[in-house]
Structure 1
Amino acid sequence: MTSASALERLLRPVAPLLPGISIADVADRLLTPEHKAFLSLPIVDGSGRPVGLVSRSALQDIFMQRFGRDLRGRHPVEEVMNPAPLTVSLDTSLEEAAKQITAQLQYPITEDFILVDARGHYRGLGTVLDLLKAMEARIAQRNLVLRKALVELKESQTQLVQSEKMASLGQMVAGVAHELNTPLGYVQNNLQLLRELSAPLFDLAAAQATLADCLNDPQCDEARLAQALQTAEQARQDAAPELLAEDLAQLFDDTFYGLGQIAELVVGLKDFARLDRAISEEVDLNECIRSALLIARNNIKDKAETLLQLGELPRIPCAPSQINQVLLNLLNNAAQAIEGFGRIHIKTWAEAEAVFISLQDSGRGMPPAVLARIFDPFFTTKPVGQGTGLGLSISYKIIQDHGGQIRVASEPGRGTRFLIRLPRPQALPLQRSA
C-alpha cells in the first residue's frame, strides 16, 4: 500500500460550498444527516480551490446567542470562515500528513482538514481522529514485525535480547500509541454526549425565533401567538438550559483535559529514552488521583468499586501530567486484573520526608515469576496486540526520575498492591534522561 493510497482512504467526499452563501445556509447544511459527522464545511472558489473552512463551533457561537440567527444568519459566510485551514496534499505520505497536522493543530479540535490534489484542487475532507487511527494501525503493524524480531533474538540468546530491548527503546516506544485509546475514547464519548445535549438547544433557538417573528408581526393573531408560546415553552422544557449548563461545563473540561493528554502523549512519549519534562509544579497528589479516576471511570465503573482514603498532603514539586500517566496506567491495570466485580482501594498519607500513594486491587494477583519482571520493558502477560509491555516500565522510570520509588506486592488470588513514594521536598531535581 502506497502512502498516497493510505491518505486517500481517509478522504471523505463532502460537497463544497461557494463563497457568498449565507451563514444560515451553512448552518442548515451542517445539520443535515450526511454532514453531522463533520466539524466543518469547506468553501471553494469557482476553480475548485479551497479558500476556507466554516466550523460548527463558530456557527454555534452565533446561534447560541439570543436572536443570533435573525441578526447574522443572512450575513455572508466569509464573516465566520477560517481563511487558513489545515490543507494536506494527497501526494503527502501518511507520516508526513500526521506530522504536518499535529504541528499546526489547535485544541480543542473544531475543524476537519482539507485534502487537495497535486494541482491544489479540493478533493474532500479528512478528520483528525481518522488520521490518528490510521497512524495507530500503521504503528501496530510495525510493532508486530519488531516483536517477531525480538522473539527470534530471545530464542538464540537471552542476554542479546535484553541488550536489544534497551537499544530499541527509542524505536519501540512508538508502540505506546495504544495509550491514546483511553483519552480518545472518553473524548469521543463526550463529543457524542455534547451532540445529543446540544440538539434540543437548536430546537429551542428555532422555537424562540418563531416566537420572536410572531411578536414582531402585527398580523400575528392570538391563536398563532399562543401556539408559538406553547412550542417555545415545550422546547425550553426539553432543553432544560438551567440543568444543562453544569453538564456542558463538565463535558468541556473533561474533553479539553483529554485533548491535552493526547497532545502530551504524542510529544512526550515518542522518545522513551529522553522523556521531555513538563515544567515542575507544586501539586496536590490527591488532585492527580481524582483526575486519573475521572479519566479511567469508563474502564473501572463496571469492574470495581473504588474506595478512597485520601489523607491531607503537602503540595510537592513534580510534573503532574507524568504522575497522572502513572496513576492512569495503574488504575487500568487494576481494572483489567479484576475478574467479575471487585474493589480498588487508594490511600494517601504524608510523612516527614515523603508522601505515599497506595493502590491495591482485589484482582487475580501475580505469581513470583511474573512479579519479578513486570517493570521490564516489553514484558506483558496480555495477548499479542493488546499491550506493548511498556506501561509499567514507563511508570517506573517516571517515578525514578522524580527521585521516588515504586514497589509492588502481589499474591495469586489475593490481589496486587502498588506503593509509590515521592520525596518532600524533591530530593532530586527533574532532569532529562541521558
Structure 2
Amino acid sequence: MSSIQSLAALIKPVGSLSPEMTISDVADQLLQPSHKAFLSLPVVNRQGRPLGLISRYRLQDIFMQRFGRDLWGKRSVTEAVNTESLVIALDTSLDEAARIVTAQLQYPITEDFILVDKHGCYQGLGTVLDLLKAMESRIDQRNQALSRALQELKNSQAHLIQSEKMASLGQMVAGVAHELNTPLGYVKNNVQLLRDLVQPLLELAAAQAQLSQCLQDPATPTDTVEAIFSRVQQATDQASPATFEEDFTPLLEDTLYGLEQIGELAVSLKDFARLDRAMSEDIDLNDCVRSALVIARNALKDKALVTTRLGELPLLTCTPSQINQVLLNILNNAAQAMTNSGQILIKSWADTRCAYLSIQDNGAGIPNDIQQRIFDPFFTTKAVGEGTGLGLAISYKIVQQHGGTIRFASEPGRGTRFVISLPLSQPSPLQRSA
C-alpha cells in the first residue's frame, strides 16, 4: 500500500445493480464469492449515475422480519437502497477523501463508498478499510520522514553547538596564549641572561682543569704554566662570587615566578575544562568563577576592572565544564560591551535551596527592543564573523538543564546584570545524562 498515491489505486471494479432488479436478486448477488469482500453493492441507472448503495446490513434487517422475504423479495431494489451513500470523485486527493470518509464514519461500518469520474458516472467501489490502510501507510511514511528530519535537525543542532563551543574555545585559547606569552617572554630572557652569567664559571672551570694538567706534567714549560695561571686569575676575577650572587639570585627568583604563573594558567585551564574530572560532581561555584576569570583575563584586562564579592557557598552538583562555559560567555559579552575602561562586579550567595551568581557590568546595555530576543538561537547584534548568536542560547539551555534559571536586567547606556540560580541538589536525570 506504500505506493498508493491516489484514489484510482483503490478502485474495486465491482459490477453495478440496475434499478429493475428485485431485492431477492440483490441478496443472491451479495452471496456470490466474488462479492464477499464488499459490505454493499451500487445501484446505477442507465446513464451510469449511481443511485446509492444497498448493504448486507439493510438486507439482513429486511429478511430477519417475519415473512420478510415474502413481503420484500419481489420489490424493486430502489425501495431498499440508501440514497445518502457516500460518493467521492476520483480526482479527490487521498487526504481529502480520508477526511470525508472519517467525518461520516459510524460504527459498525455498514457500507463502502462509491467512486465516480468527473462526469459523475460510476467507476467502482472503494472500501473504507483499504482507504484507512493507505492513509496509515502514508502516515507511517511521513512519520519516518519526520523522524529523519528530526534526527538531521538534532545533528545540525549538535554541530552548531559544537561550533559555538569551538569558537569559545578559540577565544579562550587565544587569551591563554596571550597570557602565557608574558611570563614565557621573561623566563626566556632570564634563561639567556643566566646562560651569559654562567659562561665565566665555565671558562674558570676550563682554565683550572688546564692548569691542573700542566702542574701534573713536570715537562711543562714554566712560561706555559704562568700563562695558564694568569688566565685562571682573569677567569676568577670575572666570576667573582659577589657579582655572580648579585645577578644570579634575582634572575633565578624571577624565572621561578614566571614558571609559577605559567603553572597557574595551566591549572586554571585544566580546572576550567575539567579534563581529568567526572562530568558531574559536587563543586564550589566560586571555584568556577575564579577559573573563568583567569581564562578570560586577557579579554577583560584592557576593558574592565573586575571586583568580586564571593560569599560562602555550599557544594552543588553540576557539570563544571558547562557552567564554566556559561560564565565565559557572559564575561566575554560584558567585555565586548565596554567601549572605555569599565567595571564588572561579580557576587555570589546562597539560601537553603539554591546558589546564586550575579554578573553586573556598566557597559553599553541592551536596547529595549531586542531584550526579548537575546536568548534566541542565532540572534546577534555583532558584525558578521564576530559572533554566531548561539552563546547566550547555549548558556540558557545549560542552566535550564541544571534545573536553574538565568535572568537579566539591562538599561541602555548604564549596563547589564545577569543573575544565575542553580539548585543545590540536582535531579537524578542530570547525573544520568552526565
Using structure 2 for the length normalisation, give the TM-score.
Answer: 0.54
Name the residue aligned to 2:254.
243
Name the amino acid aligned to 1:236.
F
Q: Matched residues in 2 for 1:259 and 1:355: separation?
A: 24
Moved more, 351-360 or 247-256: 247-256
Contact 2:280 2:319 in 1 (8 A): yes
Counterparts in 2 of 1:417 and 1:174: CA distance versus 1, 3 Å: same
Q: Deviations over 1:309-356 (max 9, x none)?
A: 211111112222221111111111111112322221111111011110
Deviation at 1:397, TM superposition (A): 1.4
Deviation at 1:390, TM superposition (A): 0.9
Contact 1:183 1:261 in 2 (8 A): no
Q: Matched residues in 1 for 2:308 and 2:273: separation?
A: 27
Q: Matched residues in 1 for 2:278 and 2:375: separation?
A: 23
Q: Of 178, 186, 194, which aligns to 1:196? A: 186
Counterparts in 2 of 1:378 and 1:431: CA distance versus 1, 3 Å: farther
Name the residue aligned to 1:185.
174
Name the amino acid aligned to 2:248.
R
Name the amino acid aligned to 1:184.
V
- Indicate the SS of the match to 1:430: helix
Name the amino acid aligned to 2:240.
L
Name the residue aligned to 1:225.
236
Q: Deviations over 1:9-42 (max 9, x none)?
A: xxxxxxxxxxxxxxxxxxxxxxxxxxxxxxxxxx
Contact 2:175 2:299 in 1 (8 A): no
Deviation at 1:374, TM superposition (A): 1.0
Contact 1:204 1:232 in 2 (8 A): no
Q: Matched residues in 2 for 1:262 and 1:292: separation?
A: 10
Name the amino acid aligned to 1:188.
A
Counterparts in 2 of 1:187 and 1:367: CA distance versus 1, 3 Å: closer
Name the residue aligned to 2:414.
414
Name the residue aligned to 2:400.
400
Q: Matched residues in 2 for 1:371 and 1:433: separation?
A: 31
Counterparts in 2 of 1:263 and 1:178: CA distance versus 1, 3 Å: farther
Using structure 1 for the length normalisation, give the TM-score.
Answer: 0.54
- Indicate the SS of the match to 1:422: strand
Contact 1:165 1:377 in 2 (8 A): no
Q: Matched residues in 2 for 1:405 and 1:377: separation?
A: 17
1:35-434 mapped onto 2 (5 Å cutoff)? 168-176=156-164, 177-193=166-182, 194-208=184-198, 210-215=200-205, 216-217=208-209, 218=211, 219=229, 220-229=231-240, 232-233=244-245, 236=248, 240-255=251-266, 257-258=268-269, 278-430=278-430
* CA RMSD after TM alignment: 3.1
Moved more, 326-335 or 182-191: 182-191
Number of paired residues?
A: 261
Counterparts in 2 of 1:297 and 1:369: CA distance versus 1, 3 Å: same
Name the amino acid aligned to 1:243.
D
Deviation at 1:431, TM superposition (A): 5.0
Counterparts in 2 of 1:428 and 1:421: CA distance versus 1, 3 Å: farther
Counterparts in 2 of 1:183 and 1:367: CA distance versus 1, 3 Å: closer
Name the residue aligned to 2:11.
none
Counterparts in 2 of 1:296 and 1:187: CA distance versus 1, 3 Å: closer
Which of 1 and 2 has greater Rg? 2
Q: Matched residues in 2 for 1:284 and 1:292: separation?
A: 13
Runs ≥4 in structure 1, deviation > 4 angstroms? Answer: 163-167, 230-235, 259-264, 431-434
- Could you tell me the percent identity over the aligned residues? 46
Name the amino acid aligned to 1:246.
Y
Contact 2:179 2:298 in 1 (8 A): no
Q: Matched residues in 1 for 2:311 and 2:233: separation?
A: 64
Q: Matched residues in 2 for 1:355 and 1:174: separation?
A: 28
Deviation at 1:395, TM superposition (A): 0.9
Deviation at 1:408, TM superposition (A): 1.4
Name the residue aligned to 2:221.
none
Q: Which runs of 5+ in 1 are unaligned?
A: 1-162, 265-276
- Indicate the SS of the match to 1:221: helix
Q: Matched residues in 1 for 2:178 and 2:368: separation?
A: 39
Counterparts in 2 of 1:232 and 1:304: CA distance versus 1, 3 Å: same
Q: Matched residues in 2 for 1:291 and 1:416: separation?
A: 22
Q: Matched residues in 1 for 2:346 and 2:246: separation?
A: 46
